Homo-oligomer: A and B are copies of this chain.
Amino acid sequence: MPAAWLMSCRYESLVTLMSKRHIYLEDLPLDEARAKLQAALLAAGRLGPLPGETIALERALGRVTAGPVRARLSSPHYHCAAMDGYAVAAADTVDARETQALGLRLGREAHPVNTGDPLPDNTDAVIMIENVNQTDDGRLLIYAAVAPWQHVRLMGEDMVTTETVLQVNHQLRPVDLGALAGCGHATVVARRKPRAGVIPTGGELVQRDRRPERGQIIEYNSLILGGQIREAGGEATTSEIVDDTLDDLISALRAALDAAPDLLLVLSGSSAGSHDFTAGAISELGEVLVHGIAVRPGHPVIIGMIGKTPVIGVPGYPVSAALTGELLITPLIRAWLGLSREEPQMVEAVSTRKIVSPLGDDDFLRVALAEIDGNAQATPLQRGAGVITSLVQADGLAHIPRFHEGVDRGDVLRVSLYRSLSQIKSTIMVMGSHDPMLDLLATHLRLVSPARRMISVNVGSIGGLIALRRREAHLAGSHLFDPATATYNLPYLHKYLRDEPCQLVTFAHREQGLILPPGNPRGISEIADIRGLRYVNRQRGAGTRVLFDHLLDQHGISSDEITGYAREEYTHLGVAAAVSDGIGDCGMGLRSAAEAMGLAFIGMTWERYDLVIPRRTLETTGAQALLSVLRSAEFKRELGAQSGYRSDETGQIVQP
């Protein structure tokens, strides 16, 4: 097995390196790590903003001035007419009266001018075209004397030569480009863009155009970090992927340094060992200043200097990598551009969950935000450093500082926003049971009203009802079967939402059944057949689990007889994935989930999935927009065309 051999080889060199680890690994507080980097940059003469380069205005949008810019030309740079009309000498007009018109000779005492035209010699005022008449013999009749400089824009009225038009360290907007051109500049001296070299490392990484095998990971942190650098105003060049051996990394660092970057990033692989290779290579060529920062997620950050070039070792997990970019890298890019740290908009929001934070760390967690009954609510997203969906879904970043143990449910979190407040205010938050077609509804809503956004957080059907009671969601999705009444949802509303008047609106009928490996190798045909198989269960409170328990009951099977009953998945697709990958032999879920993963499916029942909409929500324009999309012919057609879905009652109100 050559692969295993390689693996243990890597492992051996890792163990060798690890003996050095304790020299470096320190988990420095964030502020101290920043201070060390600053001090090293200062010593290297690299702390201040970068010098300027001359850029044509056409290409200068978003660039930053390297010095104050002064007007080369006054604006206007000559006295000019501020109106369409006739330029005259004010002194010639003193005898004009409303009752006694004064005639001025056209072309000699009065000259036609358009707005913006220079005043002809020996004139100092303009009479508006509306206030004159012309005679057949070429004279202009005026009916009032005019003051000098009437309707004239004087030279320099707006800007005078040598005046400061733009300050240093100013990021150029469209109007600034106009102002620069208007006062005689065709170019501007803008700070050079900071250049970063990005080196992805890790033998497990493959390029994006390849389909990864088992054990291989697509390299994408360079896209995240490169994008952050570009957004901050820098340039990023990504090298080929480097295997994590010390020699390869040293060669790659040397090659990257040849391009004289302002900053080098080494994107570590995901294993702890790979950080040691990074630290080893940096200390070979320069100095490691920081190895480990007390930040969660993101501990294994490395900061070093090779000569005068700072090198940052970025952790391999995407959430850690993105956070390292936000905390350490984009502030550096902005400082080199002469810009202050970007101050994100902050909001205070109530946490819908208890959050436990490690005492010694600055803890950063991504949250979904919604405004519910006028209160901002923050729901923490799944926390793993590898959960890239949390990066995509986050509306904001909550910071729980060092020496805090976390917050309780109901406590206020300060959240820096990733989306505008207006986007968050127009978000419809759905909690409850997971249905993949909620995404289809969100798509249709977004196509119809681009300002609205619907997000769904999966907490199971009962979880959704509890969230409504706690006013943490606008509406909930539920498919809870009540065996006693053989109805869906209504009995549960009475139980969980006694004090909250709600409307039930049908979302869809869905086919539930057993999800089985392709070809159904064991020939399962009914519930009783799953005895002895490894079952993949759903979490407590999930409607599908309620349904499964009911089916077990019907067939007189005890949950003790079901292997794996205690292991829980949180979505239909999760169950299907577990079956697909052989974690279990069967599970219960939607036909659509089974088919999406190419699995076998035995239908058991068609169930009703409803939206539970509190009356307080029903009156909002958001809910009205959502219901109108739900009831639209386009949506119902597309929903009904999905395998395992029926939309004939979609949008109907369920009568109690």
Chain B residues, CB < 8 A from A120: 4
Contact A204 B156 (CB under 8 A): no
* Residue in B173, B223, B386, B574 whose CB lies within 8 Å of A57: B223
Cβ of A529 under 8 Å from chain B: no
Q: A116 contacts which of B57, B107, B270, B384 (Cβ < 8 Å)? A: B270
Number of copies: 2
Rounded to whole Å, the gap between the CB of A595 and the closest CB of chain B is 9
- B174 & A84 in contact (Cβ 8 Å cutoff): no
List B contacts of A224 (CB < 8 A): 174-175, 177-178
- Confirm or deny: A279 has a beta carbon within 8 angstroms of a beta carbon on chain B: no
Chain B positions within 8 Å of A423 at CB level: 343
A57 to B422, CA, bound (A): 28
Q: Which residue on chain B has the smallest CB distance to residue A174?
A: B227
A117 and B450 in contact (CB under 8 A), knowing A61-B230, A218-B181? no
Instruction: List, in ascending order, chain B residues with CB within 8 A of A242's CB.
Output: none
CB of A15 to closest CB in B, whole Å: 9
CB contacts (< 8 Å) of A410 on chain B: these are none
The segment from A39-47, A73-81, A367-375, A626-634 that touches chain B is: A73-81
- CB within 8 Å of B: which A184-241 residues: 184-186, 204, 208-209, 211-212, 214-215, 217-221, 223-228, 230-231
Q: Which residue of B lies closest to A577 (CB)?
A: B156
A229 to B10, CA, bound (A): 52
**Contacts A162-B596, A223-B177, A224-B174 known; A271 to B322 CB distance under 8 Å?**
no
- Knowing A162-B597, A168-B443, A339-B450 are in contact, say whether A208-B186 is a contact too (CB < 8 A): yes
**Interchain CB contact under 8 A, A163 and B273:** no
B61 near A114: Cβ-Cβ < 8 Å: no
Q: Is the CB of B223 within 8 A of A318?
A: no
- CB < 8 Å: which of B114, B273, B339, B420 contacts A273? B114
Complex: A116 Cα to B274 Cα, angstroms: 11
* A215 engages B78 (CB within 8 Å): yes
Given contacts A181-B218, A215-B78, contact A272 B115 (CB under 8 A): yes
Contacts of A439 in B (CB 8 A): 68, 163-164, 167
Expressed in whole angstroms, the Cα–Cα distance for A571 and B67 within the complex equals 23
Chain B residues with CB below 8 A from A292, complex form: none
Given A76-B386, A392-B175, verify A160-B226 contact (CB < 8 Å).
no
A571 neighbours in B (Cβ, 8 Å) = 160
- Interface hub of A68, A115, A178 (most chain B Cβ within 10 A): A178
CB 8 Å contact bits of A575-607 with B (1 = contact, 0 = none): 011100101000000000000110000000000
| Interface size grouping (class) on chain A | 35 or more
Which residues of chain B are near A422, meaning CB under 8 Å? Answer: 343
Q: Does A296 contact B (CB under 8 A)?
A: no
**Does A391 reach chain B (CB closer than 8 Å)?**
yes
| A76: B residues at CB distance < 8 A | 217, 386
Residues of chain B contacted by A338 (CB below 8 angstroms): 446-447, 450
A401 interface residue, CB < 8 Å from B? no
The answer for the CA separation of A148 and B420 in the assembled complex, in Å, is: 43
A400 to chain B, nearest CB (A): 21
Min distance, Cβ A331 to any Cβ of chain B, angstroms: 11
* A578 contact set on B, CB distance < 8 A: 154-156
CB distance from A301 to the nearest CB of B (A): 16
B228 in contact with A174 (CB, 8 Å): yes
A252 to chain B, nearest CB (A): 20
- Whose C-beta in chain B lies nearest to the C-beta of A597? B161
User: C-beta contact mask, A148-161 vs B, less than 8 Å → 1, else 0?
Assistant: 11000111111111
CB distance from A57 to the nearest CB of B (A): 6
CB closest residue in chain B, given A223:
B177
Assess whether A162 is in contact with B573, with CB atoms less than 8 Å apart: yes
Residues of B within 8 A of A154 (CB): 578, 581, 583
Q: Max chain B CB contacts within 10 Å: which of A11, A318, A389?
A: A389
Q: A4-B107, A117-B271, A322-B175 are in contact. Are A182 and B220 (CB under 8 A)?
A: yes
Residues of B within 8 A of A348 (CB): none
Chain B residues, Cβ within 8 Å of A446: 167-169, 338
In the complex formed, the residue of B with least CB distance to A208 is B186
Q: Which of A365-394 contact B (CB under 8 A)?
A: 382, 384, 386-389, 391-392
* Contact (Cβ within 8 A) A451 B341: yes
Task: Please tell me if A179 contacts chain B, counting CB pairs below 8 Å.
Answer: yes
Knowing A116-B271, A169-B446, the reply to whether A79 touches B581 (Cβ < 8 A) is yes
Interface flags for A64-98 (1: CB within 8 Å of B; 0: not) read 00011000011111111010100000000000000
Among A624-644, those with CB < 8 Å from B are none
A111 on interface, CB distance cutoff 8 Å: yes
- Within the complex, which residue of B114, B343, B384 is in contact with A272, where a contact is CB–CB below 8 Å? B114
Question: A127 → chain B, closest Cβ, in Å?
Answer: 14
Cross-chain contact of A174 among B77, B82, B162, B225 (Cβ < 8 A): B225
Q: Smallest CB-CB separation from A438: which chain B residue?
A: B164
Q: A388 — which chain B residues lie within 8 A by C-beta?
A: 75, 158-159, 175, 178-179, 182
Indicate whether A577 sits within 8 Å of B160 (C-beta atoms), given known contacts A224-B175, A388-B75, A447-B169. yes
Q: List 11 A-B contacts (CB under 8 A).
A: A10-B114, A11-B114, A84-B272, A117-B271, A156-B574, A161-B596, A174-B225, A174-B226, A174-B322, A181-B219, A182-B220
User: Which 3 pairs between the two chains have the least Cβ-Cβ distance?
Assistant: A174-B227, A114-B271, A340-B451
Write the residues of chain A forming the contact surface with B, with a CB cutoff of 8 angstroms. 4, 7-8, 10-11, 14, 57-58, 61, 67-68, 73-80, 82, 84, 107, 111-118, 120, 148-149, 153-169, 173-179, 181-182, 184-186, 204, 208-209, 211-212, 214-215, 217-221, 223-228, 230-231, 269-274, 316, 318, 322, 325, 335, 338-341, 343, 345, 382, 384, 386-389, 391-392, 418, 420-423, 436, 439, 442-443, 446-447, 449-451, 453, 567, 571, 573-574, 576-578, 581, 583, 596-597
